[in-house]
Amino acid sequence: MRSLVYALCIAAVVGLAFWAYGEGYETRATEREVAQLEREIGARHQELSMLRAEWAYLNRPDRLHALAEMNFERLGLMPLAPDHFALADQVAYPPPQIVLPIRPRVNAEVLEQEIDGIVVMNHVFGADAEPRMIAPPTLADDGEQLP
C-alpha cells in the first residue's frame, strides 16, 4: 500500500515536472513569438510612417496644382469660388428622355465623301502658321505624370 503511494507520488512529481518544464518552454516560445511580432509591428509602423510621409509629399499642394494645370483639358478643374455654390432649387430636373428615330445607316462611300470635305482648322491665326498640336502631358517611365 505504502509503496503504491510512493510510486504514485513519484509519478505525480515526474508528471508535474514534465508539465512545468513544458509550460516553461511554451512560455519562452510565446515570448519569442511576441517579441518577433513586436519587432514586426515596429517595422510596419516604420513603414507606415514612411508611406504617410510619401503620401503627404505626393499630395503637396504645389504638385496637385501642377497636375491640375497639366490635365486642365481633361479635368477642367478650377479654384473654388463663391459662385460655385448653388441652391438645391437651381438643380434642374432631368430632361424627358427623347427617343430618336432610328436613321438608316449611311452608306460608307457617301460618308467617305462627306469626311473629305472637312477642313482641319487650327487656332493659331495667320496664313502661314504651322498646324499646332496640343501636346499630351509627358509621362515618366513608370507611367506617372510628373509635374
Partner 1 sequence: MMAWLRSPRRRKTVPTDPFVPVRSTEPRPPVQAPVMVMPRENPEKVRLRAERRLKVTAACFVFGFALVGVKMGAISASEAREPVTGGLSGASIVSARADITDREGRVLATNVMATALYAQPHLMVDSDAAAEGLARIFPDMEAETWKRRFKSGSKFFWLKGNISPEQQQAVFDLGEPGLLFGQREMRVYPNGPIGAHVLGGAQYGAQDVRAAEIKGIAGIEAVFNDFLSDPVHEGAPLRLSLDLSVQTTVERVLDSGMRLMGAKGAAAILMDVHTGEIVSMASLPDFDPNDRPRVAVSGDQADSPLFNRAVQGVYELGSTFKIFTVAQSLDLGLTNAGTMIDTQGPLRFGRHRIRDFHNYGPRLSVTDVIVKSSNVGTARMAIEIGGARQKAFLGSLGFFEPTPVELTEAPGARPIVPARWTEISTMTISYGHGLSASPLHLATAYASLLNGGTRVTPTLLARQGGTPPGPRVVSARVSAEARHMLRQVVTRGTASLAEVEGYQLGGKTGTADKPSPTGGYFDDKTITTFSGVFPSQDPRYVIIVTLDEPQVEAAGEDRRTAGWTAVPIAAEIVRRAAPLLGMRPDFRAEVDTFGAYLTQANARP
Residue 3 or residue 59: which is nearer to partner 1 going by CB? Answer: 59
Please give the Cα distance from 52 to 59 (Å, whole number).
10
Please give the Cα distance from 135 to 129 (Å, whole number).
17
Largest CA distance in the chain: 124
Closest CA to 139 of 131, 129, 147, 128: 147
Q: Site residues for partner 1, window 57-86 (CB under 8 A)?
A: 57, 59-62, 65, 79-85
Shortest Cβ 8–partner 1 spacing (Å):
36
Q: Are 146 and 140 in contact (CB under 8 A)?
A: yes
Contact pattern for partner 1 over residues 14 through 53, marking x by CB under 8 A: -----------------xx-xx--xx-xx--xx-xxx-xx
- What does the DSSP 8-state code read for residue 123? S
Q: Among residues 4, 5, 56, 127, which is the contact residue for partner 1, using CB under 8 A?
A: 56
Give the residues lining the site for partner 1 (CB under 8 A). Answer: 31-32, 34-35, 38-39, 41-42, 45-46, 48-50, 52-53, 55-57, 59-62, 65, 79-85
